[in-house]
A and B are shown apart, each in its own frame.
Chain A
Amino acid sequence: MSEIITGAEALIRSLIAEGVDTIFGYPGGAIIPVFDRLYDYRQQLRHILVRHEQGATHAAQGYARVSGRTGVVIVTSGPAATNVITGLSDAMMDSTPLVVITGQVGSELLGSDAFQETDVIGITQPVTKWSYQIRNVEDLRWAVARAFYIASTGRPGPVVLDFAKNAQVATMEWKGYKKCHFVRTYEPNPDINIADVETVAQMINQAERPLIISGHGVEISGGEKELLNLAEKAQIPVVTTLLGMSTIDSGAKLFKGLVGMHGNVAANVAICRCDLLIAIGMRFDDRVTGDPGHFANQAKIVHIDIDSSEFGKIIKPDATIHGDARKVLALLAGCVAPAQHDEWLADFDRAWQVENEKVIAPELNSTRRITMGIVARHVAEAAGKGAVLVTDVGQNQMMSARYFKYTAPRSIITSGGLGTMGFGLPAAIGAKIGAPERTVCFFTGDGGLQMTVEELGVILQYGIDVKIILLNNNFLGMVRQWQDLFYDRRFSETQLVNPNFVMLANSYGIAAEDVETLDKLDAAIDRMLAHKGAYLLNVNIDPEELVYPMIPAGAPISTILLNKDEKYEN
């Protein structure tokens, strides 16, 4: 049965056919026809009205990363389209599937500097996986189907559809929807070369000190079980990137820590001591490698990724496997010989001891002041299994990531590649919407919270149950830390005069309390978690607290500062 419908209506029907249930958006002149049609589909499509379009993109990211589904955003043209750029860049860097639909002036006006016209395709091309302007209603279904296929498959990423107004109002014959399963120029699911798998299995069998770095790609592919199977069978210790932290249970015996600038000493040291480094679904970001010239030079390097353009981009591999991480891990687990590496596994103990003694114990055993580590650890313990950590950027991010406990896949949502302050609040909202049954613990700083604080309105309007833990040091803490360590304590423009956050939260109908002293912390955490609905804890943090360990930017990863006076000595 065919009907004549408008492009706007066809878009809505196409989204429903793609299985979309939630849209994050904000209306405006160049997209009104779509919002008008949405009105009739309120039962099938839940629209979350954000307060700023940047918030829509981060919320969609939170939704996508917690659920594995594509996040959908609909906004208008011009300023709305430029407001989504940060979210697109963030999603591009952190491989997050998004379909962002921007309204556009009618095609007859394109290129004329019409009211609220922006060159959306031109601006978004460098920060999207694909972008396409729909000028003709006949292109609509093709473009939407392609957009979802491209965004969600292979290495996921953001896609923009710039929907010209004339195409929204024009009519077409609706003959149903056809999903896209093939694009000639794009192969998201490459056949895995079995010879490559066998080569790598041999390398693993021969290695005495193999080490796995598990990245976001393991999470995206859903390969957590396969990772553990491989690691256990060949007794390979596992370290993770920031975005890969929940790819293995924090309590697993073979889990040896977080790599990178603020990672665990043992994890970074292991990179300098292993004889085989197996990097899976990660891209050797400079926050992980430090000086790439001094990265694992002693080891053979295996790089496994779905995106072959990552091979050799930063670190030259000795072997590669191109393919989906989960499938590759399953194949490898089948090929490798069972092995024991007792001595190698014991090799991590010393560095862990040093970190425990010099960094972790002082952080967690503080009896005087509230430390960020204590807050994160106590929240994690009280929230229990399955809680999701969402962070903003800065000290709050590194501390909460380091001291939280991960017990389930897809449990850390943080802006890794772009390091976007303001990511956290909307991402936490999106995460709660994407996983309503899970407790969402959102850690933020006083700077970052205020970058997208307007999204508290979304919590109010939709009653989103997000637990907000504000680690409030009245400073742009991470920048202050660099000024402290490397700029002679010249605290240029990092001090903030802050509002009363409890009153601010209250004005949005959000329960909140100040936590001034350590003895009040645990009870406050319990109240927060027991509370039905959103809650904000404004926790008083000493601005002098620094995140350690730290590898200074660009230094070899063997240069690990344990505190102001001590370096780790191997």
Chain B
Amino acid sequence: MEENNNKELFTVTVFSENRVGLLNQISIIFTRRKLNIESLSVSPSSIKGVHKFTITAYADETTIAKLVQQVEKRIDVLKSFYYRDDEIVYQEVALYKVPTAELLNEKNLEAIIRHHNARILEITNEYTVIEKTGHDDETTALFEELKRFDIRQFVRSGRVAVTKSPEEYVTMYIEERARRKEEVERCLNAE
């Protein structure tokens, strides 16, 4: 096992064309540098046709900076960035499936749910599904609390994040590329 000394958690975002096989290309770059992906989520971005990958990994800054350069070098990748936690607003969702019978004996259930700002998604005779949105430490705290109810299933989503920066770099980049395209076409027509 490798130690996480000198390493901190970075959030890497990747904006790409919506093309088959990109996840593979990106994950290979992590693997080659022996970086373990802690969490991953993929979704459309606010820009039509552009996909966004949000990946977290422990690394030192030099490694992550080089990784981002290598990711950006892949042909179908538009832009890639890395952030520390204070540069982004981020969330994760966790789901906890607990036997309903166990919960019914709990007098403080309401307090727990309130205290953790969680909510109940579904209740059946057999099980109850609780949802908690928050940071890693928060979803873990609820997990610890619910442990005594015999959690049957637990899952936490990959991190999703948006930047705090007022500049929308990807949008600016896409606009710049559109101008470049016009320029290239103008040159071709002139020839």
Contact = CB atoms under 8 A, between A and B. Distances in A.
A258 interface: no
A182 B177 CA distance: 9
B177 A126 contact: no
A130 B28 contact: no
A54 B181 CA distance: 37
A309 B72 contact: yes
Contacts of B180: 182, 187
B75 to A, nearest CB: 4
Interface residues of A, number: 21
Interface in B52-76: 65-66, 69-70, 72-73, 75-76
Given A121-B21, A308-B69, A309-B69, A185 B76 contact: yes
B75 A130 contact: yes
A184 B78 contact: yes
B16 interface: yes
B24 A185 contact: no
Contacts of B65: 312
Interface string A509-545: 0000000000000000000000000000000000000
B184 A181 contact: yes
Given A182-B180, A187-B180, A307-B73, A313 B66 contact: yes
A133 B24 CA distance: 14
B75 A125 contact: no
B184 A182 contact: yes
A203 interface: no
A111 to B, nearest CB: 12
Contact of A309 (B32, B73, B188): B73
B61 to A, nearest CB: 12
Interface in B23-52: 24-25, 28, 32
A125 B21 contact: yes
A99 to B, nearest CB: 14
B77 interface: yes
Given A122-B24, A125-B21, A126-B28, A185 B70 contact: no
A74 to B, nearest CB: 22
Nearest to A159: B75
B28 A125 contact: yes
Interface in A168-214: 181-187
A303 interface: no
A133 B20 CA distance: 9
B17 A185 contact: yes
Interface string A110-129: 00000000000110011001
Contacts of A150: 75
Given A309-B70, A309-B72, A184 B24 contact: no
Q: Is the interface of A mostly helix, strand, loop or mixed?
A: mixed
Contacts of B76: 130, 185
Nearest to A185: B78
A85 B17 CA distance: 26
Contacts of A125: 21, 24-25, 28
A183 B25 contact: no
Contacts of B20: 133
A60 B76 CA distance: 25
Contacts of B70: 309
Nearest to B29: A126
B71 to A, nearest CB: 9
Interface in A253-285: none
Contact of A184 (B66, B69, B177): B177
A314 to B, nearest CB: 10
A131 B21 CA distance: 9
B73 A185 contact: no
A129 B78 CA distance: 15
B75 A183 contact: yes
B22 to A, nearest CB: 10
Nearest to B28: A126
Interface in B102-137: none
Nearest to A121: B21
Given A130-B75, A308-B69, A185 B16 contact: yes
B69 A129 contact: no
Query: Which of A184, A309, A312 has the most CB atoms of chain B within a 10 A radius of its CB?
Result: A184
Nearest to A307: B73
B75 A182 contact: no
A130 B184 CA distance: 22
A88 to B, nearest CB: 14
A186 B184 contact: no
A186 B17 CA distance: 11
A122 B75 CA distance: 16
Contacts of A182: 180-181, 184-185
Q: What 10 pairs between A and B have smallest CB-CB spacing? A: A309-B69, A130-B75, A309-B73, A182-B184, A184-B177, A185-B78, A182-B181, A126-B28, A186-B75, A125-B25
28 contacts: A121-B21, A122-B21, A122-B24, A125-B24, A125-B28, A126-B28, A129-B75, A131-B21, A133-B20, A150-B75, A181-B188, A182-B180, A182-B184, A183-B75, A184-B181, A185-B16, A185-B17, A185-B76, A185-B77, A187-B180, A307-B73, A308-B69, A309-B66, A309-B69, A309-B72, A309-B73, A312-B65, A313-B66
Given A184-B174, A185-B75, A312-B65, 16 more contacts: A122-B24, A125-B21, A125-B24, A130-B75, A150-B75, A181-B184, A181-B185, A182-B180, A182-B184, A182-B185, A185-B16, A185-B76, A185-B78, A187-B180, A307-B73, A308-B69
